[in-house]
Structure 1
């Protein structure tokens, strides 16, 4: 498992994904990526 963080304007999108997905997508720190979000479970936390 790995954690992917995307900066979207003033917001951060954080997701846990498999190591295989990170490798398959070629994700590296600072790489540009696009998030498509579809979820049945959302956790909201305070800062």
Structure 2
């Protein structure tokens, strides 16, 4: 049972990290698109 619980904690951590990096990537992409649009205006 302890091994299973430990695996579950690891999975939860991985999911949290994955979600954070996923959100971070989306935000970065939005920022890059914004910068690109500003460059086109100039």
**TM over 0.5, yes or no?**
no
Asked which structure has the greater RCO (Cα within 8 Å, sep 6+), the reply is 1
Q: Which has the larger radius of gyration?
A: 2
TM value normalised by structure 2: 0.22
Q: Which structure features the higher share of strand residues?
A: 1
* TM score, norm. by length of structure 1: 0.20
